[in-house]
Amino acid sequence: NRHQIEALEVIFQKEKYIGCKRRKEIGEELGLSERQVRP
């Protein structure tokens, strides 16, 4: 079902965004620069 796939993609993008944001926050807590935090 195409609609289901699109919904899953939206959820995946949101999870990815939240993951990046959280990683950045954790990095700042640890006193790391953004460059070190990024994969």
* Residue found by looking up tokens 């990046």 in the block: 20
Q: Note the pLDDT tens digit of each residue in 24-36.
A: 888 888 876 556 5
Q: Cα–Cα distance between 4 and 6 in angstroms, integer?
A: 5
- pLDDT at residue number 7: 92
Q: Cα–Cα distance between 36 and 14 in angstroms, integer?
A: 23
**Which DSSP letter does residue 31 get?**
T
- pLDDT at residue number 6: 94
- Could you tell me the end-to-end alpha-carbon distance of the chain, in angstroms, rounded to an integer? 33
- pLDDT at position 3 over 60: yes
Residues 24, 37: contact at Cβ < 8 Å? yes
Domain ranges of the chain: 2-37
